[in-house]
Every structure is written in structure tokens, then in C-alpha cells.
Amino acid sequence: MVISQQEAWQLMQSGHPAVILDVRDEFEFEQVHIPGAMVIPFTELERRAEDELPEKDKTILVYCRSGRRSAIAAETLEKLGYTDIRDFGGIIDWKYDVEREY
């Protein structure tokens, strides 16, 4: 399911138990990411999801840089049996808090 960034932010603020999943490369993640996010590059998702995301019914908020990789990742997660995937696009449009490495 595609949601707006405002909806994603509101969900993050609500205390709803959700995984914030960054599907960019680790290098990109280290430069800037949303606080509390974990990173699994979309190219590694099929191999790593079962171990690192064991709860298939937990809400997963997926993002990347611009929205292309997050859409692919959401589709991949759905094929792997995850049931509550919410794609909110790219960090380039994110208007809320981020963590940066300087």
C-alpha cells in the first residue's frame, strides 16, 4: 500500500509498533536516514528478510531515495508473505527529522 509521507510520519509518532525500513545501499543510509530506521538494501531483501524481519504481520514502513526502490521492495516483501507493507516513497521529499553523518 502506498501512503503519504505525512501518514508515515503520523504513524511513526503514534507509537504504533512498526519497522521503518530503508532499502537504499548502506552507504546512502550512513549519509542520511530517518531516526530509528533499519537498512536492508532492496537487492538483499529476499535473502535477509526472513532473519531480520521475522514478524510477517508487523507494519513495515518502506522508503528509499526517490520511491523506485521502495516500490520494488514493497512488492518483494508482499511476495515473501508480509501483510502490512506501507511504501511512503523517497527520503528526498521527507520534511521531517533525519539523522546525518558528517
Q: Active-site residue among 39, 64, 73, 91?
A: 64
64 is catalytic: yes
User: Rounded CA gap, 38 and 19, in Å?
Assistant: 8
Catalytic residue numbers, as ranges: 64
